[in-house]
Structures are given as structure tokens and as C-alpha cells.
Amino acid sequence: MSTRRRFLQTGLAASATLSAAASLSPRLFAAGQDTKKLGYALVGLGRLSTGQLAPALQKTEHAKLAAVVSGTPSKREEWRKKYDLGDHVYSYEEYDQLADDDAVDVIYIVLPNGLHAEYTIRGAETGKHVFCEKPMANTAEECRQMIAACEKAGVKLGIGYRCQFEPHHLRAIEAVRSGEIGELRGLGAGFGFTMPADADPDQKLHWRLDRSLAGGGPLMDVGIYALQFCRYITGREPVAVTAQTTLTDPVKFRQVEETLGWTMTFPSVLGDDLPEPLRAQVTASCVTTYNFSGFNQGEAFGPDGSVLLKPAYSYTGLKGFVKGEPMNLDTPDQFAVEIDAFSQSVKNGTPFKCPGEEGLRDLLAIEAIYKAAETGRRTEVAKV
């Protein structure tokens, strides 16, 4: 069988699986035994929990908000009343008591990145499943410790990569993998926003500008979406990276990068079994920043056209085009969809699409990107 035919067949099979996963067929559950909604404990009641996750947990078919953990007494009281949480409201000092809370099946970590490892590991030790926001942790080493802790405790670990469940992204993967633009040759992706002026560390050190809590700058926070886009469009891991940073505000950005541009080389999507000179490689060019807003896209290029998502990573209103034709798809509540997907995998004992290893792979690439930016050299990405 020709390499191209084999690619098309595997690509189509892969996209069929993705489409099936994305549709989250309600029949799976109508036919299944367990219709109970899993109870989620949100840990960290900041912007994401308040604005997105709590509302999403009112819409989910297989999950509900069961408990919260917060350091602020007034927030605990507010959430207890608003969501009728009764005694299932905890301070950080009481975190480990989640072990004895039968209403909680899954602990959802929504804390600053630098706290993800500690709270995931302690969460696993309570015997509850753990869902952790992106980026999984500050370092690849922490990711390995989180994976090991969840394995040891026999609980599932999922990472919050909502775009992997979003219809525009799934359609983009399908279009590229099935060869609609011909053999994939290039990728361009970027995501950033302007960090507000009041985040100046001299006035108020926001955790996103604090290296110990954020692990890095915009690459850790939003550049990770561009990295993810390139990884799931190709279905491959980057081999090597180059990177450089620019800086206009050395006071605000004294601990983390302000703007970072990087390139990645991926193996050919056609297969590594081709002789070296014929093995087309895919080049990705990416940008992330805290210095300007509006860069929010992912594009894949082949000889027969391109696939474009723009805006690509927002919560609502995504737009996608295949060879210039609009995708005309709706953007669902991405958080409700991913939480339901994780809940189903917990209930059915089936693999989750974004396990800890997926977060680890991102951190391995991110560490290589930071090293490349620091040394100015092409840097190979370590393997899992």
C-alpha cells in the first residue's frame, strides 16, 4: 500500500475517532448503567472558576458542582449560598478532608500553575480523581510526579485542554489529516493579550508575572494553546525548536518573558518510514505575548490550500475556514463538554483524551523553547 493511501486511511480512522469522541453520544449513557452525576470540588475560586467552570457545571450531563475550596471566608460563604453547598465548603487548611467527603468524586485544580503539582498530588492521596487546569505544572519533572501519584493512588488524571473537544478544532484536525489541503507543510499559530497596567509587579505582583507561581510568562499561560494546536493538528511531537524573546517593559516583566516567538520542526505527517531526503518536515511558526491583544489564530498550510481558525482559542465565537470556505459550526460551552468527557471516562473506566502525559508533552516542549530562547540555539525536545 502506498504511504499516501496508508496515511489517508489512518488519518480518516483517527478523525472518525475524534468525531465520535467530540459528539459525546448521549446514547452511551442512555444505554449505560450509571446515570449518576459525578460531584466536582473546585479548588481555587478565581476568574475561571467563577466565570466559566461553575456555570459549566450547571449544564453538564455527567457532572455537578459538589464542593469548593477557597482561602477567602467571604467567598466560601457566597458560594455556599449561591450553589447550595451545605457543609461541602473548605479552606486550604481543610483540603485533605475532601478524602472523607462522599459527595466529591473529582477534585478540579484551578489554582495558579505553581500550585498544580502539590494540590494534584495531595488530591490523588485523598483517593479522588483529579482534573487539573493547564498548564499542568511549572516543570516536566512536576508533571512526572503528578502522573506517578495518580497512578499510585489508582485515580484518573485529566488536564484541561478544552480546545481538544471543540468542533472547529476537531474539524481542522480532520481536514488536515484526511489530506484536504494536501500534505501538511507548515503551521502558524499565536495567542496573546495585553497584561493590564495594574499588574505591574512594583504595585501588585499578579501571580501571572511571578515566576514561582506561573512557571513562566505568556508561553505557559496562552502560548500553550498555539503549541497544542500544532501538536494535535500534526498528531506528532516537535523534534526541535528555536526561540527568541522581546522586551519593552523590564520592570513589569522582570521575572517572566513578555513576548516570545518560536519555531518547531515536526516529523512529516506522511510517516517516518520514507527515506530521509524525501521525508517532508512540517515547520511551525508561533508567537505568544503579554504585550498586545488580537493575535488569536491557528493555521495549517498544504499545497492545496490552508485551514484557518480565527479567533481560535476564545471561549465563544470561534471561526474556522477550510480552503477559504467557512466551517459554519457552533462553539459549545467548551468547559461543559470537556468536564462531561472526563466524567464519562471516569464512570466507564475508559481512557481520557487528555491525560497527564498530554500535559507532560507540552511541558517538555515548553522547557525546550525556554532553553532555546536562553541559549539562542536550536534545541531538541526531550522525549516522554
User: Which spans of this chain sit near ligand NAD (rule: CB under 6 A)?
Assistant: 44-48, 71, 110-113, 115, 133-134, 160, 162, 207, 213, 221
Q: The cell 442512555 sits on which residue? A: 30
The smaller minimum CB distance to ligand NAD, of residues 231 and 236, is found at: 231
The smaller minimum CB distance to ligand NAD, of residues 112 and 238, is found at: 112
* Known catalytic residue at 134: yes
Q: Smallest distance from the beta carbon of 188 to ligand NAD, in angstroms?
A: 21
Q: Smallest distance from the beta carbon of 123 to ligand NAD, in angstroms?
A: 14
Catalytic residue among 37, 64, 134, 252: 134
Taking the C-alpha atoms of residue 125 and residue 104, their distance in angstroms, rounded to an integer, is 14
* Known catalytic residue at 313: no
The smaller minimum CB distance to ligand NAD, of residues 221 and 333, is found at: 221
Give residue number: closest CB to ligand NAD: 46
Q: Smallest distance from the beta carbon of 95 to ligand NAD, in angstroms?
A: 11
Residue 47 buriedness (CB in 10 A; 0-12 / 13-18 / 19+): exposed
Taking the C-alpha atoms of residue 232 and residue 172, their distance in angstroms, rounded to an integer, is 10
The smaller minimum CB distance to ligand NAD, of residues 275 and 317, is found at: 317
The smaller minimum CB distance to ligand NAD, of residues 12 and 48, is found at: 48
Q: Smallest distance from the beta carbon of 384 to ligand NAD, in angstroms?
A: 22
Apex 166 CA angle, 342 and 63, nearest 5: 30
Sign of dihedral through CA atoms 28, 34, 35, 36? negative
Residue 158: CB atoms within 10 Å? 26
The answer to whether 247 and 253 have CB atoms below 8 angstroms apart is: yes
Residue type, 290: Y
Cell of 382: 526531550
Residue type, 108: Y
The smaller minimum CB distance to ligand NAD, of residues 46 and 186, is found at: 46
70: CB partners within 8 A, 6+ apart: 44, 45, 76, 79, 89, 90, 91, 92
Q: Smallest distance from the beta carbon of 213 to ligand NAD, in angstroms?
A: 6
3-class secondary-structure state, position 158: strand
Catalytic residue among 95, 225, 290, 370: 225
The answer to whether 307 and 320 have CB atoms below 8 angstroms apart is: yes
Q: Smallest distance from the beta carbon of 332 to ligand NAD, in angstroms?
A: 14
CA distances, 373 to each of 251, 286, 288 (Å): 19, 13, 13
What number of helices (H) and strands (E) belong to the chain? 13, 15
Catalytic residues: 134, 225
